[in-house]
Amino acid sequence: MRILHTSDWHLGRTLHKVDLHEHQAAFIDWLVDLVRERDVDVVVIPGDVYDRAVPAVTSVKLLDSALARLADTGATVVLTSGNHDSPERLGFGRGLMRAGVHLLTDIAGIEHPVSVEDEHGEVLLFGLPYLEPDRVRTELVAEGEPPLARSHEAVTRAALERVRERAAAHPGARTVVLAHTFVTGGEASDSERDLSVGGVDSVPAGVLSGIDYLALGHLHGCQDLTAAVGAPAWYSGSPLAFSFSERAHRKSVLLVELGAPGSGEEGAEVTVERIQAPVPRRLTELRGTLEQILAQQDQHGSDWVKAVVTDPARPAHLQEHLREGFPHLLLTEYAPDGREAREGTPVVRREANPLEVMDEFLAAVTGADPTPAEHDVLERAYRHVRRDQEAS
């Protein structure tokens, strides 16, 4: 069976105020073509389909179109909700969903895996939505039993027990689990929302063992956790970068070949191919003086750029110069070389001389003591304000 694993679309997300809708639509166009070209049997999407619980209408329409087009290829589509999604809103209408599209967004869905057949027999696809401990630790126990511990490990362990019990009723079936969680050993970036509950935000890898293929969502970098889990386990990562911490990521989707069932404790034969996703623009961080940064505009003029300017004194009209050289500039930081970072916020004493405070402020902003001419401008401005106050 050929399974395509993609996750964390975050439809509706922006990148430092840049609307990514057209780039997300382009990714879906590419994805549909890929599913058709590679004769994919199942598409799995483990969560964070939307970027927020109440998505924009444009994002809802884009997902609606994506699911319809993927189903039209003949592939079965299985998706779960992530921590950014509202499981109720994402799962609305699942009973009316067209054939071949399955939304597994609640705890009850764990008991009802999607069954797909191939030449080697049955494959059960289980969907674990994002399991928020405070919300589900009573749902995952039998009536009358005490709630589970308030941790991601406890609720995930209980959910996997249900998966294994259900799978045991299907001898010889292979199991694929979609799980939106942070597995210990995974590498995070700046753009994932923290899952911490009581200081514990990750699930030990061993909790997730015993599955033929574990399709993970949440972390935005594509990564292989097979060695840690003890069974084939991958994060596909997000198709687009959502912060400069992801600038070194190679954005991908995963094409999983699920072979014949294993014997005894051995899992099915599994091979995973990383397929690089299209990138609208490179993310580049440039550091140096303004002159050094502008000298690189031929190489990086079409990139999304973060500029870290290190001139001893803040250059005049800094943003204007940078935007002229880099039309897609997203972030600018002024970090002069040699200046020690200050801890905390400077405290201004009530008895301090206002002109001294102004001089100190200018020095803090520019990285250099005011020149006599600059001090003269500040002094004249201060005297003008004082005269107006005394006149009133």
pLDDT of residue 339: 66
Same domain, 265 and 343: no
Q: Give this prediction's pTM.
A: 0.82
Provide the H-helix boundaries in the chain: 21-37, 57-72, 87-90, 133-136, 152-168, 226-229, 290-294, 297-300, 318-325, 354-366, 372-391
> Tokens for 145?
């039993």
The 3-state DSSP class for residue 191 equals: coil
* Last residue of one domain, picked from the residues 236, 255, 276: 276
Same domain, 187 and 322: no
Same domain, 195 and 165: yes
Q: How many domains does one find in the chain?
A: 2
Which residues lie closer than 8 Å to 301 by C-beta, 6 or more apart? 325, 326, 327
CATH number at 117 reads 3.60.21.10
Same domain, 366 and 227: no
* 375 phi-psi bin (left φ>0, alpha ψ -120 to 50, beta other): alpha
Same domain, 302 and 231: no
Cα 211 to its chain centre, rounded Å, is 24
pLDDT tens per residue across all 392 residues of the chain? 999 999 999 999 999 999 999 999 999 999 999 999 999 999 999 989 999 888 999 999 999 999 999 999 999 999 999 888 877 677 565 555 667 899 988 888 898 999 999 999 999 999 999 988 888 888 888 888 888 988 889 999 999 999 999 999 999 999 999 999 999 888 888 777 665 544 347 899 989 998 999 999 999 999 999 999 999 999 999 999 999 999 999 999 999 999 998 865 678 899 999 999 999 999 999 999 999 999 999 999 999 999 999 999 899 999 999 999 999 999 999 999 876 655 555 666 666 788 888 888 888 777 778 888 888 888 888 888 888 777 76
Residue 317: is it exposed, middle or buried by C-beta count within 10 angstroms (0-12/13-18/19+)? exposed
* Last residue of one domain, picked from the residues 209, 242, 276: 276
Same domain, 268 and 358: no
* Last residue of one domain, picked from the residues 244, 276, 308: 276
Same domain, 258 and 326: no
What whole-number distance in Å separates Cα of residue 300 and Cα of residue 285?
A: 10
Same domain, 364 and 215: no
What whole-number distance in Å separates Cα of residue 115 and Cα of residue 222?
A: 27
Same domain, 121 and 165: yes
What whole-number distance in Å separates Cα of residue 154 and Cα of residue 218?
A: 18
C-alpha dihedral sign at 32, 281, 63, 193? positive
Same domain, 270 and 301: no
- Name the β-bridge partners of 216: 179, 235
Same domain, 90 and 60: yes
> Tokens for 51?
């970027």
Same domain, 266 and 352: no
pLDDT of residue 199: 39
pLDDT of residue 195: 58
Secondary structure, 3-state, 244-279: HHHCCCCCEEEEEEECCCCCCCCCCCEEEEEEECCC
For residue 380, give its domain range: 283-391
- Name the β-bridge partners of 203: 183
Asked if residue 59 lies in contact with residue 11, where contact means CB atoms within 8 angstroms, the answer is yes
